[in-house]
Chains A and B, each alone.
Chain A
Amino acid sequence: MDYRDISQREEDFKKAPLVADLERNLRTIMEITGNSYDLSIKKCQIGPEKVPAAVIFIDGMIEKFAIENLLQALKLETFKTGIDGINKKEIFATLLNSLLTEISREADDIQTLYEGVSQGETALLFDGTAKAILCETRGWSLRTIVEPENESAIRAPREGFVESVRVNTSLIRRRIRSPNLWIENLYVGSLTRTEVAFAYIKGLAGEEFLEELRSRLKRIDIDGILESGVVEEFIRDAPFSLFPTVFRTERPDRVASAILEGRVAIFTNGTPFVLVVPADLLMMLQAPDDYFEIFPIGLFLRILRFISFLLSFFLPGIYVALLNFHPELVPITLLLRIQAAREGVPFPVVAEVLLMEATFEILREAGVRLPRAVGAAITIVGALILGDAAIRAGIVSPGVVIIVAFTAIASFTSPVFSLALTARLIRFGMIFLGALIGLLGIQFGLLVLIVHLVSMRSFGYPYMAPFGPLIWQDMKDAVIRGFWWKQTYRPRLLGFREPLRQRPGQMPRPPRKSNYSDKNGGKDE
């Protein structure tokens, strides 16, 4: 019986050395991995000297084709060079230099060996050498690159990230082909050893900021990272805030554009959600469509989204405040309609709004959890039948249903889902404040919200930039989305190392001479 606990086992694993004896090495490996059934260890003899060797890989993580190639090469190489009688000592060096597979590297200890193998590499062990060769043979089935469901856009690339870091980084590399796109990686998680990579443009992203990010990532000490949300919580600023201080997305185009602004993307293996830091509130409200549609439409969409963003925070609170405290601010016809519709409703306005809000929250949550086919049905049953029945029974008034439903819809215009979640929670606070002391309460809530937002920073970058601090130059891409040929400068705080982004004055103008002029047309007659 082996009574060593996990930390002890990990400790021993890290200390386990490779020795010159193949059998001992294999025994150690078997002991450490418990001879797990997916770990294949194939013994063979190589070369005319018949050096005992072993091939180790994990079934299901390798490309069969690559393994075959490898073995083929092994035979070929050993015979090619080994006619003279290659000995145990030379075989390692010879093979390491001449194997044809894409990558081959050395492993000096069991830890390196196993970590390579667990990533889909194949290890070669030889008797008489205290080293192993790791060959790149990885290949396993992946989800195909599809459009992200939760971040759809009308006019934007249809690609979305998948669960593999390598594929994800390649999606970025395909978009930014400069050699100055640097990607660093590290492994996080004592048991999962998850690959975490971060990409940035060297020379554009601030060095102090990169140093800070590196140290924050390195500081993470946890047994396992299963999703980038875990990384997010470890590195984010203002951990108590309801607002996301790390931006996450499934869209390569958004990540690429963030990198081009001087931000850094953090890829985590096993999740399609890529984190972008530093984040600000503004980027949560920008959708890809804004940028790829022509200017006036982009402008319109952006403004629409800003308005609905504000509404999703404040509308129900304002409704309660107006009806309970300031009916004088509501036009008489509207007020009488609301009053008439409320006659006989047994709850006060606040209770009514809270009731409906809670119902909608439950409906939404149920809609997410349920299987997709049933989910739609639930939403319809819930929204239509429940709402209608409640109104008919006189339990809630139609006005409240309109307000709550409209607010819910407005909150979904936010391109980042986590912001919609934030809005839900803050909305409840606003309802309470509105019910407590009317518009004064709403104003209080608004001010506290502003103070909270402006005092937040994401990796030192002000969360509310370019509104607070006010950066006039960055307003070209804030509430309004300016023409592309007017976006001459990078965001000032992010791209401070080289502000100029493009050649100024690129506004398209009609050509001086044209083949299509009216005069030419006249000539034909």
Chain B
Amino acid sequence: MFREKIVNRQLFFFLFMQRTTIVISFLPALTSGRALQDAWISGLLAFFSSAVIIFVVGRLAVAFPGKSIIQYSQELLGSIPGKLLPLFYLFLFLYMTATDIRLYAEVLKTGFLPETPIVVIMGIMMLTAVIVVYAGLEPLGRCADIIFPVFLLMILGSLLFPLPQADFRNLQPVLYGGWSPVLVGAITPTVISAQYTNMAMLVPSVQEPQKSLGAALWSILFGSLVLALFAALAVSVLGPDEGARAAFPVFKMIKSIRVSEFLERIEPLVIFAWGLGLFITNSVNLYSGSRGLSQLLGLKDNRPLLLPMAVIAVTFAIQKYRDYFELKQFFEPETCAPVIFFIIFFPMIILWGAYLLRRPGNRNRR
């Protein structure tokens, strides 16, 4: 059977765009926790904690080349528990998709299309994801190739345009509240690194899996830098309190600036960057989810699953969060951290345990 392959560059693009999209959407370090003007430090700290997640998820994927978590967990744990454990991850993919599109739909609804039903906005975004995953992983990788430069330009634009109006004195004083708010501020960005669980499904399709871990680490490094830069910039432009108060700080920042008398109203820059990034995020999540489910059910093709899964994701997005406040509340460190960490680490601890126990046995056999 012909296996679709992506390369590590595309994996990097996927992961970087996933990461950065969330940054643009609600700037986790600033709006969650109380780090205020020190949010950028939280952003940088999140790099280290996220690297742990990447290592835990990615290392196992690399150890079983060509096998997804569904497959190697069955190999490690046997058929039944090996099938049950990855359900956590499948649920996580659904959860992330729902949360991402809900966030996007919320900002479009509050910012641009107040009267359009939220279902329509989410439906359109899911439809694009279904179309590309239907086309396959390879086209998805190529989409990332094409979108990434545009995305990067938009990110750079939204970083550069506000610069003349930024007052970096707003970043002072550093560590006014001590380290604890900064550390708390790093939790949510780390939780969002749950996106890196996608590696468990993607790495098997990468051409040189041993380098995937590096690609993922680079993506989190750049992603954290972007997060830190945006956090610093939003604070410099809006002021720490205004920035932390805003529902969507980057959007608000870009809306607030006037580059010159004729160059203002440049928020499409951010919204389009977000839209493009979300497209990649959603598609990757949908791919991982559908691929995983099809492997779990023993289906050859993941395509018949796409449309039902998209419908489920949209429904879930509406059902899970009653309003934007609840969505926002979910991202508070104390709410989301235990749930997500459990989902990520519980299966991983068992799998790692099984893996480490089995390895010496392998050696003896040799």
Contacts and interface: CB of A to CB of B under 8 A. Distances in A.
Nearest to B105: A440
15 contacts: A325-B112, A329-B267, A439-B112, A443-B276, A444-B128, A451-B131, A451-B139, A454-B135, A454-B139, A455-B136, A455-B138, A464-B142, A468-B141, A469-B7, A469-B142
Given A437-B120, A437-B124, A447-B279, A328 B142 contact: no
B245 interface: no
B108 A440 contact: yes
A440 B124 CA distance: 8
Contacts of B141: 468-469
A451 B112 contact: no
A454 B131 CA distance: 12
Nearest to A468: B142
A468 B10 CA distance: 10
A435 to B, nearest CB: 13
A437 B279 CA distance: 17
A437 B118 CA distance: 12
Interface in A425-484: 437-441, 443-444, 447-448, 450-451, 454-455, 462, 464, 467-470
A522 interface: no
Contact of A451 (B121, B132, B264, B271): B132
A447 B128 contact: yes
Interface string A319-359: 00000011011110000000000000000000000000000
A325 B268 CA distance: 13
A447 B142 CA distance: 12
Contacts of B136: 455
A439 B143 contact: no
Contacts of B127: 444
Contact of B143 (A331, A441, A444, A468): A468
Contacts of A331: 262, 264-265
B113 interface: yes
Q: When A and B form their complex, which 8 residue pairs have the shortest distance between CB atoms, in order from nearest?
A: A468-B142, A454-B142, A470-B145, A455-B139, A455-B135, A468-B145, A468-B146, A451-B132
B145 A329 contact: no
B146 A326 contact: no
Contact of A443 (B10, B142, B272): B272
Interface in B132-163: 132, 135-136, 138-139, 141-148
B145 A448 contact: no
Contacts of A444: 124, 127-128
A470 B136 CA distance: 17
B265 A440 contact: no
A329 B275 contact: no
B33 to A, nearest CB: 31
Interface of A: 325-326, 328-331, 437-441, 443-444, 447-448, 450-451, 454-455, 462, 464, 467-470
A156 B16 CA distance: 44
A240 to B, nearest CB: 14
Interface in B247-285: 262, 264-265, 267-268, 271-272, 275-276, 279
A328 B135 contact: no
B143 A454 contact: yes
Given A331-B262, A439-B268, A325 B113 contact: yes
B116 interface: yes
B112 A450 contact: no
B235 to A, nearest CB: 25
Contacts of A443: 272, 275-276
Contacts, number: 83
B143 A451 contact: yes
Give chain B's interface secondary structure class: helix
A200 to B, nearest CB: 26
Given A331-B262, A437-B120, A444-B127, A464 B146 contact: yes
A197 B337 CA distance: 67
Most buried by B among A329, A448, A450: A450
Given A455-B139, A455-B142, 5 more contacts: A443-B276, A448-B131, A468-B145, A469-B142, A470-B145
Contacts of B124: 437, 440-441, 444
B283 to A, nearest CB: 9
B83 to A, nearest CB: 32
B9 interface: yes
A450 B146 contact: yes
Given A329-B268, A444-B127, A451-B128, A467 B145 contact: yes
Contact of B146 (A438, A448, A467): A467
B265 A328 contact: yes
A219 to B, nearest CB: 22
Contacts of B147: 450
A438 B112 contact: yes
Given A443-B272, A443-B275, A470-B9, A462 B113 contact: no
A454 B145 CA distance: 10
A329 B265 CA distance: 5
Nearest to B261: A331
Nearest to B7: A469
Contacts of A454: 135, 139, 142-143, 145-146
A231 B172 CA distance: 70
A510 B7 CA distance: 43
A455 B121 CA distance: 25
A331 to B, nearest CB: 6
A443 B132 CA distance: 14
A444 B138 CA distance: 20
B166 to A, nearest CB: 23
A455 B143 CA distance: 9
A3 to B, nearest CB: 53
Nearest to A470: B145
A153 B135 CA distance: 38
Given A440-B113, A444-B127, A469 B145 contact: yes
A462 B262 contact: no
Most buried by B among A454, A464, A467: A454
A237 to B, nearest CB: 14
Contacts of A328: 265
Given A468-B142, A468-B143, A438 B135 contact: no
A66 B274 CA distance: 73
Nearest to A451: B132
A454 B113 CA distance: 30
Contacts of B121: 440
Nearest to B108: A440
Contacts of A464: 142, 146
Contacts of B108: 440
B112 A448 contact: no
B267 to A, nearest CB: 8
